[in-house]
Structure 1
Amino acid sequence: FLKHILVDEPYIPLNADAMDIDCLFLPDSFDMVLLADVIEHLDSRASIALLDMANEIARICVVVSTPKGFIPQDIDIWGYGGDRHQTHRCGWSVEGLEDMGYSVVERPYTMSDVRRCSTQSVDPHVTMLYAVLRKDNDK
């Protein structure tokens, strides 16, 4: 992927572990940090740590999307054996995010019919949580 990025694109690709963002970026480096469908792929402790680090590097807000509750997922969409990266390892609740200071909205969502590595049956109709932590600052 990184070999095919055009050099005149207005972004800098990073190939790094998400758990290293506190080492890669200074506090208040970004107005907003977006964690779209990320935290459910980490265990609970790592998810909380990542949210805390995102809060440190965000100047204005942190925006998170994640399924409500634990949704089993062991898919390999591209067939390259990447299911270990796509596996869900924890689930989140409205209350759990609100306890961390987030404002949360729930929205129904239907998952795509994708190739799965197991025969585990999963209802494609889930609820997504969209959460915003707005930092209380004068910056």
Structure 2
Amino acid sequence: MLGNAKSRRVAALLAIVGAVPVFGGFHLVGLHKLYLGQRWWCLIYLALALTGSKIAWIAALFDAVFYLIQNPDEFDVNFNDEAIALDVSANPVVSVSESLRELDQLREDGLISEYEFEQKRRKLLDRIK
């Protein structure tokens, strides 16, 4: 995931492009979600677009603005997993345990939610299996 870092600007541009009608009024919404690896959200956006609802393209515009005003570090934490960079070449168990301690501290400080903590904890534990 670290090798394929996602860009805030590209995600915002795809969200804007998705909000512009093409093909006789059809919107290609959800491209930004697909780019960010959120396939289910992409399908939801497309389903809403197929119903003719304006909700999908309005949500895409909100997403574009959100990506542009979001702190780059926060974007990386949410979409690039760069907050947890592991050096697994030395000792993966020690690296994971140290990262888990740091992650727990972030949760205790209120910098990440319980849900984010659990997702990242599972990713870390999967690395030592």
Give the TM interval when normalised to the shorter protein.
under 0.3
More strand by share: 1
Structure of higher CA gyration radius: 2
TM-score normalized with structure 2 length: 0.26
Structure 1 length normalisation: TM-score?
A: 0.24
